[in-house]
Amino acid sequence: MAPALVGGLILTSGPAVSAASIAPAPTRPAEAVRQRLTAGTYLVQLADEPVTTYSRTAVKPGQRLNTRTEAVRDYVDHLNAARKRVLDAVNGVRPVYN
């Protein structure tokens, strides 16, 4: 729990940024690589659905998620590969927490 609190403090104690100063998201991965980023700590959230709500792995009401099914393992592998592609697209990125 402590890392989450520290991460939250880092993110909330930074300088305020107006929405107008944020560049639009790149439409292609190559554009993301060309962007110049300033040093700092960034929170990156991918757009894929979590395992509990993804159509092939969704949990029915009143049931628990079975993490040992092939569908869950396949989807988690997909999510991990997507995260790796994002990290590999920007040089010098060192994840603090996944």
For the segment 6-39, what is each residue's pLDDT rounded down to a tens digit?
Answer: 454 444 444 444 344 445 555 665 555 556 777 8
Q: What is the pLDDT of residues 74-97, one digit of tens each?
A: 999 999 999 999 888 888 888 888
pLDDT score at 19: 40
CA distance 24 to 21: 9
Instruction: Give the per-residue SS3 of the chain.
Output: CHHHHHHHHHHHCCCCCCHHHCCCCCCCHHHHHHCCCCCCCCCCCCCCCCCCCCCCCCCCCCCCCCCCCHHHHHHHHHHHHHHHHHHHCCCCCCCCCC
- Flag whether the pTM goes above 0.85: no
Residue 53 pLDDT level (bands cut at 50, 70, 90):
very high
